[in-house]
């Protein structure tokens, strides 16, 4: 069974899914984080009909219902821009510590052995896990298609991505953009999917004005394969009967350069992981306006390596956070990702880390008009964290490090 544990800090979902959904409701707390740069002391957020209608400071004296949440902080709901709900059932069934390639093989075998009902049940628990850990939006990647209804019928905003891989060109694929939830397409990765197929997927999502997601530059095996067309990954594909002889690889390019070459990178693309990359790659990502979704805990577990986050920040790339799946991490909590980021990169300001967990993720998922910051017109769904703080600096440090005091935080450094 998936282990869903409450955090030590009290996380309340507030807003249109709570008990104060009708009419005008004012939520106040000692701190309100509007966005990474705007933190109000003794702030309030007024919600009406599911939308934020006013933000301000001071005690609100009016006729509508006022809820004083206490000494902690109201902040935007978190965004998990990359997860795989259909892999929740694989928690503790595969061993990421044995290395990436072995993990992939084990994952495929285990997934094939599971009953669909079990996968669905654990996926539904995964959505509860996301919501209970302060997440209001997600990008769910599904190869099997099995989580679509759960996701679309949930309270989560964001995108359900149908993930494709191999050489097939499925002509029935499509995407659908909605204001709060969209259906889109993801290419698995450049070392598992033909350039022709990836180009086709990207073209469909571009036509539908939907974000496109792809794992990029994740492993050394991938980099060697893309640069040379050879190596362990080439042998692995050959063993599985996948013909890559016609793929345009082996030109000494990095995965990012390859993705750019075949037209995958623009402002509607989310490149996930981006570990095996250099300064030239970062310039390409910045010029194309692509987002990068960082999944540090998964990277650490599967590869023992982390992406060069400071250089990506210097290149002003839109960085967001994802957890990847319970097949490679212990929790789907973005608080845990923030803490991992803060521990590994103490030079990165907490405000930047919070932006990755909120506004930047919302931008990457095309939710920038709805979520990510607390401003009038956006969805009236946010979180309260019972984290007392004496000043803004202490508050921001507490937010990004809060998971370290949680019983569910287990990162092996
Ligand atoms: Zn992934």
Q: Where are the domains of the chain?
A: 11-77+373-405, 78-364
Q: What is the whole-number distance in angstroms between the Cα of residue 51 and the centre of ligand 1?
A: 32
Within 8 A by CB and 6+ apart from 216, the residues are 189, 190, 255, 256, 259, 271, 272, 273, 274
pLDDT interval class at 22 (50, 70, 90): low
pLDDT tens-digit profile of 177-228?
998 999 999 999 999 999 999 999 999 999 999 999 999 999 999 999 999 9
Question: Residue 272 has which token pair?
Answer: 């996930």
Tens-digit pLDDT profile for residues 324-371: 999 999 999 999 999 999 999 999 999 999 999 999 999 999 998 899
Q: How far is the CA of 138 from the centre of ligand 1 (A)?
A: 13
Domain 11-77+373-405 listed as CATH 2.40.30.10: no
Q: How far is the first Cα of the chain from the last one, in angstroms, to the nearest whole number?
A: 26
Residue 69 has pLDDT above 90, yes or no: no
Tell me what percent of the residues of the chain surpass a pLDDT of 70: 91
Q: Please give the mean pLDDT across all residues of the chain.
A: 89
Q: How far is the CA of 82 from the centre of ligand 1 (A)?
A: 6
Ligand 1 centroid–CA 58 distance in Å is 43
| Ligand 1: centre distance to CA 218 (Å) | 10
Residue 21 has pLDDT above 50, yes or no: no
- Tell me how far the alpha carbon of residue 377 lies from the centroid of ligand 1, in angstroms: 32
Please, which residues have CB within 8 angstroms of residue 167's CB and are 6 or more apart in sequence?
A: 193, 194, 196, 197, 242, 243
Specify the pLDDT at position 121. 94
Q: What fold is seen in the domain 78-364?
A: TIM Barrel (3.20.20)
How many Å lie between the centroid of ligand 1 and the Cα of residue 140? 9
Compute CA distances 345 → 78, 251, 359, 406, whole Å.
Answer: 20, 34, 20, 20
**C-alpha 399 – ligand 1 centre gap (Å):** 25
Q: How far is the CA of 188 from the centre of ligand 1 (A)?
A: 8
Percent of the chain with pLDDT over 90: 72
Q: Ligand 1 center to residue 109 CA distance, Å?
A: 17
**67 pLDDT exceeds 70?**
yes
The residue-averaged pLDDT of 259-271 equals: 98
Crossing angle of helices 392-401 and 350-357, in 10° steps, is 50
Q: Using the predicted structure, report yes or no on whether residue 145 has a pLDDT greater than 50.
A: yes
Cα 219 to ligand 1 centre (Å) = 12
What is the pTM for the complete model shown? 0.92
């Amino acid at each position: 069974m998936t282990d869903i544990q409450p955090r030590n800090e009290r996380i309340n979902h507030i807003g249109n899914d709570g008990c104060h959904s009708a009419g005008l409701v004012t939520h106040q707390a000692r701190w309100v984080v509007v966005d990474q740069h705007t933190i109000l002391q003794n702030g309030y957020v007024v919600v009406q009909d599911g939308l934020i209608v006013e933000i301000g400071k001071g005690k609100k004296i009016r006729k509508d219902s006022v809820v004083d949440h206490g000494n902690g902080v109201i902040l935007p709901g978190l965004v998990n821009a990359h997860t795989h709900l259909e892999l929740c059932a694989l928690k503790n069934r595969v061993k990421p510590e044995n290395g990436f390639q072995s993990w992939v093989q084990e994952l495929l075998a285990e997934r094939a052995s599971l009953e669909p009902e079990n996968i669905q049940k654990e996926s539904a628990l995964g959505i509860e896990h996301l919501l209970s850990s302060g997440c209001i939006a997600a990008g769910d990647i599904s190869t099997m298609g099995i989580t679509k209804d759960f996701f679309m019928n949930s309270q989560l905003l964001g995108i359900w991505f149908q993930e494709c891989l191999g050489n097939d060109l499925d002509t029935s694929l499509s995407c659908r953009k909605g204001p709060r939830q969209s259906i889109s397409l993801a290419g698995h990765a450049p070392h598992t999917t033909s350039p022709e197929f990836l180009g086709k997927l990207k073209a469909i999502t571009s036509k539908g004005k939907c974000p496109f997601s792809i794992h990029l530059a994740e492993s050394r095996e991938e980099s060697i394969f893309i640069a040379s067309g050879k190596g362990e990954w080439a042998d692995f594909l050959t063993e599985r009967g996948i013909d890559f002889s016609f793929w345009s690889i082996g030109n000494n390019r990095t995965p990012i350069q390859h993705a750019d070459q075949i037209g995958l990178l623009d402002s509607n693309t989310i490149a996930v992981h981006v570990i095996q990359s250099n300064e030239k790659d970062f310039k390409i990502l910045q010029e194309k306006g692509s987002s990068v979704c960082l999944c540090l805990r998964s990277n650490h577990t599967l590869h023992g390596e982390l992406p060069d986050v400071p250089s990506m920040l210097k290149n002003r790339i839109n960085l967001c956070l994802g957890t990847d799946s319970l097949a490679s991490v212990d929790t789907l909590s973005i608080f845990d990702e923030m803490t991992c980021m803060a521990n590994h990169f103490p030079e990165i300001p907490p405000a930047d880390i919070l932006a990755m967990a909120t506004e930047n993720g919302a931008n990457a998922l095309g939710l920038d008009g709805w979520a990510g910051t607390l401003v009038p017109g956006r969805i009236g769904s946010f979180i309260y964290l019972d984290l007392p703080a004496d000043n803004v600096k202490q508050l921001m440090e507490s937010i990004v490090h809060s998971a370290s005091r949680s019983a569910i935080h287990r990162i092996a450094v």
